[in-house]
Amino acid sequence: MHKYLLFIAPLLMFLVIGPVGYILLEGTGFLDGLYLTIITISTVGYGDIVPTTPGGRLFTVLLIFSGVGYVMYMFSQITEAMVEGGLQRFVERRKMQKKMTRLHNHYIVCGFGRIGQEICSILRENNRPFVVIENDDEVIREIDQLGYIELQGDASDDDILLAAGIKNARGLIAVVSTDAENLYITLTARGLNPNLFILTRSSGTPGVAKKLERAGATKVISPYSIGARRMAQLIVRPTVVDFLDLAMQARELGLCMEELLITEQASFAGKSLLQSGLRRKYNIIVVAIKRPDLPMIFNPGPDTKILPNDILIVLGDNKQISFLEKTL
């Protein structure tokens, strides 16, 4: 704002000094002096009002050299800003489109409120590709500054979701402000990609979670319910909560809890937990095993077999887990 005031101030000065000069030197009224000043510095020069005194003519010459030069400079800066701004937006839009066409197995985050911001931050920390859909102009500018891939529009619109690559997406996270909007987004997303993982936010109002699940949500999360449970657990089991926080967030200390998908190419697929050598080779603890359509196996024994498509919940050194991931 300060920059624009400095840019406009000289023009306002000319529009004040010019009329005053003509009033003193030519005896014109203020409106005639203002009119004469404007047609002079804009180089229009209709000729219907002209200075007649030597002082008035000398003042006009000075006004032409100073005022006309400034007005031409001002218009050139405005034109340059418009052209560069439009060109820059076009180039940025093209870059964004190219990035979106390369996205595959990514996440679509619908809404960039407080919850959406935290989700995007964690996704970036874990190197998960994602695109943000947001409708608010000011929020879009914030997303641009953070360097996220973004798409402006209504997340419940088919064309917007298709442009965000929903056909190739790994999952969609609907965290806009109202249950109704999240419901429409879920319905649209499920219709476009029947196999998509959809995580939807709920306000916690009774009956909303079931409606969202009927609309196609894979998981429904109520931040208020989770927050209340966490606060209660901090009172009842503070040490357990501290441990879980450390396991989930202590990457800077080298500790990490992660989930690993076992592929058929994994060297220990089909072997028992003891035969896999995960504890011996990588110093990694297998906390649980998740199998498709079966209950979670907690604290699996050494004879438990590791099968393809199993998801191992592991706890251990961050570097060792990253090394193990590359072998799967």
**Domain layout of the chain by residue ranges:** 2-95, 103-226, 254-327
For the chain, which residues score pLDDT lower than 50? 1
* Residue the block writes with tokens 């619109």: 157
Q: Is the pTM of this model over 0.85?
A: no
Cα–Cα dist 159/156, whole Å? 9
What's the CATH code, domain 103-226?
3.40.50.720
DSSP state of 52: -
The architecture in CATH of the region 254-327 reads 2-Layer Sandwich (3.30)
- Which phi and psi angles does 315 have, rounded to 5°? -130, 130
What rounded mean pLDDT belongs to the chain? 84
Distance, CA of 131 to CA of 133 (rounded, Å): 7
CA–CA dist 328, 326 (Å, integer): 6
CATH 1.10.287.70 for domain 2-95: yes
pLDDT at 186: 96
- The burial class, CB within 10 Å (0-12 / 13-18 / 19+), for 60 is buried
Which of 188, 187, 212, 216 has the alpha carbon at shortest distance from 202? 212
Which residues are CB-contacts of 240 (< 8 A; sequence separation ≥ 6)? 233
Per-residue burial over 270-307, b if 16 or more Cβ lie within 10 Å, else e, is eeebeebebeeebebebbebeeeeeeeeeebeeebebe
Residues 293-320 have pLDDT tens digits of 788 999 999 999 999 999 999 988 878 8
Q: What is the pLDDT of residues 164-212, one digit of tens each?
A: 999 999 999 999 989 999 999 999 999 999 999 999 999 888 899 999 9
Residue 144 · residue 154 · CB < 8 Å: no
Instruction: Note whether 2-95 and 103-226 share their fold.
Output: no
CA distances in angstroms from 53 to 35, 59, 60, listed in the order given: 17, 10, 11
What's the token pair of residue 1?
């704002």
pLDDT for the residue 60: 78
